[in-house]
Amino acid sequence: MSRSCLVCGILSFFLAAPSIAADLSAVTLVEKGTLTYGVAATFSPFEFTKDGKLAGFDIDMIGLLSKKLGVATNPMNMEFKGLIVALQGGRLDIINSAMYINEQRASQVDFVPYLKLGSLVIVQAANPSKITGRDDSLCGKTVAVTLGGIQESYARQDDKQCRERGLAGITVMTMPTAQDSALTVRQGRADAFYNSTPGAVELMDKVPGVYAVAGSEFENTTRIGMAVRKGDAAMKAALEAALKEIAADGSYKRLIETWKFPASVSLFD
C-alpha cells in the first residue's frame, strides 16, 4: 500500500469512528462507565412502561446521548417527587424525566434544556361543558391535572383569577398521572384537563374521536430539561455537548418526528 493510501485509510478510520461528545473523566459517576438516571415513568409520551419496559421520547433520547458520551445507562424508576432528593443525595447522576424548568427547581438543580413545550385544554369530544379554552369558561368547572406538575400550577393560577374577578372558582382535581386525568374527563368526572402539547397529540392519535382541544396552545415557551446536581459543571457540559451532537447529526429531529411531536418543540434550528 502506498503512503498516500495509508494516510487515506487512517483518515477514513478516524472520520468513521464514533466521536465522544464530551470528556467525562472529570465526572464522578454513581457506577463507573454507566450513566445512572432518575425517571418517573408515568408521563407518556416522554416516559412510560410498555410490556414491563421503559419507553418514551426521553428514554430514546438518553440512549442517543449515552452513545455520544460512551457510557451505558441505568434507569432508576421512582416517584417524580423523589427525583431531586435522590439526585442531591448522590444516588443519581442526572434526572431524565421531562422536568419542567421553573424558578424553584432551578434553585435546587442545574438544567440542560432539550425541548420547549406548550399546554392545551382537553375536553370530551362533544364538549358538554362548552369550554372555549383557558379562559372564563373554565370558572366554576372541574379541571384535572397531574399532581405536582406544571399544569397544576396553571390550574391554580386560573382558579385564583376566576375568584378575583368575582366568578366561581375552578375545582382543581389532582391525579397521579396525565392518563388518570384523561380518564376523569372521559368518564365525566372532570370537565377538562390540562396536558402538554405532545401528550395531547399522542392522546388524539391513540383514541381518536374521544377528546377535543378547546382553544389554543398556551405557555408555549416553557422548557423541559435534564437536571444535574447544582454546580456540577462537568456533567452539564457533557450533556450539552452530546445534545448538540445529536442535533447536528439529525437524530434529534428524527426523534421528534418519530414521536409525532410538533416541530415547534425543537430548541435547534
The predicted-structure confidence for 236-253, as pLDDT tens digits, reads as follows 999 999 999 999 999 999
What integer pLDDT is reported at residue 4 of this predicted model?
43
Domain boundaries, the chain: 20-117+223-265, 118-221
Q: Give the mean model confidence (pLDDT) for residues 17-25.
A: 56
- Residues 144-158 have a mean pLDDT of 92
Q: Is 222 exposed, middle or buried (0-12, 13-18, 19+ CB in 10 A)?
A: middle
Tell me the mean pLDDT in the region 153-181: 96
CB atoms within 10 A of CB 266: 15
Instruction: Flag whether pLDDT at 5 surpasses 70.
Output: no
Classify residue 188 as left (phi > 0), alpha (psi -120 to 50) or beta: left
Percent of the chain with pLDDT over 90: 77
Quickly name the fold that domain 20-117+223-265 has.
D-Maltodextrin-Binding Protein; domain 2 (3.40.190)
Query: Please, which pLDDT band fits residue 222 given cuts at 50, 70 and 90?
Result: confident
Confidence of residue 23 (pLDDT cuts 50, 70, 90): low
CATH class of 118-221: alpha beta
Interval 53-91: pLDDT, tens: 999 999 999 999 999 999 999 999 999 999 999 999 999
Over residues 84-116, the pLDDT tens digits come to 999 999 999 999 999 999 999 999 999 999 999
